[in-house]
Amino acid sequence: MIPVCGLEARKVAVLGLGRSGLSAARSLRAGGAIPVCWDDNESARDVAASEGFAVRDLVAQGALDDVARLILSPGIPHLYPVPHPIVRLALTLGVQVDNDIGLFFQSFAQTDWDRFDTMPKVVAVTGSNGKSTTSALIHHVLDEAGRPAQLAGNIGRGVLDLEPPEDGAVVVLELSSYQTDLARALTPDIAVFTNLSPDHLDRHGGMGGYFAAKRRLFAEGGPDRAIIGTDEDEGLFLAGQLSEGPTDDRVIRIGSGRAEGPGWSVNARKGFLSEWRKGKQVGSVDLRQIPGLPGAHNHQNACAAYAVCRALGLSPRNIEAGLKTYPGLPHRSQVLGTRGGVTFVNDSKATNVDSARKALQAFPAVRWICGGLQKEGGLAGLEPALGTVVKAYVIGREAANFALQLPGIDVAICGDMATAVNLASADAVAGETVLLAPAAASFDQYDNFEARGADFERHVKNVLQSSAN
């Protein structure tokens, strides 16, 4: 646990008692603060009360009196589409609003670090797609190289649940726009921007607000090194803002094209990763046969992880060894198995058009399981990847409407996962891939994308077992 510093003997309100909220309350108490907790869910309040926390309705008269700070869980809106009533009340009363990420950066450095030979480092990864894979890949490569590392944030455990770091350790944080948008303190040593595509636009008041939330990690965080994906205009703009000139190696540009300019860059083209510095190639990795990193989108993730590890002092050879043993993450281009030359891949995390497009482009012939709760814009922008689709198998309550947006594609309206998996697996022939890449949120049928991916995995397992018997 990381005890919260700087709020000793101060009353701090915690709104939202899920994983991050309860973790924040515990760390506040460990640091000497006085947490006052609330959640609209009664069972969540009961859990907090069972741990001895004061539970109080924060909209009640006087509930925010003498409160130094209000700590929000990521799902609670603080500005768009409208602020939560308790947030608006806190702002009206002049109470600071923060989250667990802000508390972490405020409290991470400890006085006993004076005895360390090498100061611990924090790597923070944000972007629309690839954050989880990039973060997990960095952690894996560091672990394989014998460098002590912990992984937290939007993946794994809450940031305040981390163990105090040891000499030379690295903390890798995956941070969503919800987290970077609100944190009062953001001070990573290395910050990564993977890419940007439309997502969570209602929460950020549009694309500009969404980009601004990501940009805070760099503009206000002031990292020593910034690794920026420059395939989109926003990344190019951000790299330009952060750099003092073309040879400024505090900015490492990553992308999918040829390396340009005299600066530090890491690029992946046709499956080959290349590192360039001062106009010369200084490292390369063949990514094509790494099973945990299929497709161009995962090659971009590999570029980001490679750049971070190089900035941390690892050699290209050590990084390559770590990349080759990366097992992949559940629900993210996860290969579940093969049957008769047909490969089954779970990419339930492909909840928007951009991530689904990249998943489709990773395989030459796809039996595509898709559908769910569509996001703003529908399927616009997916067309360039539809050439790999042999047939689409649509699930979800809006399956018929989803199918209407796929003109020229052979479509089966399945409704539920079991029907889609059974039909796709029966139709598939050797060389094809049965791919779950929904291009939509899961909430019409599942609690989250993990539950959707687990359901797909269960049905695929049945198919694989039946073929083995």
- Binding positions for ATP are 127-133
* CA 150 distance to own-chain centroid: 16
CB neighbour class for 351 (10 Å; exposed up to 12, middle 13-18, buried from 19): buried
Angle at 115 between CA 112 and CA 121, to 5 degrees: 75
- Cis previous bond, 81, omega within 30: yes
Pick out the residues of the known binding site. 127-133
Task: Return all residues near 343 (Cβ < 8 A) that are at least 6 apart.
Answer: 335, 337, 363, 432, 433, 434
HSE of 139, CA atoms in CB hemisphere, 13 A: 23
Judge contact between 216 and 181, C-beta under 8 A. yes
The interaxial angle of helices 449-468 and 417-427, nearest 10 deg, is: 40
What are φ and ψ of residue 243, in 5° steps?
Answer: -90, 145
DSSP assignments along 129-174, one per residue: SSHHHHHHHHHHHHHHTT--EEEEESSSB-GGGSPPP-TT-EEEEE
Judge contact between 393 and 418, C-beta under 8 A. no
* CA 279 distance to own-chain centroid: 32
What are φ and ψ of residue 391, in 5° steps?
Answer: -160, 145
Judge contact between 402 and 396, C-beta under 8 A. yes
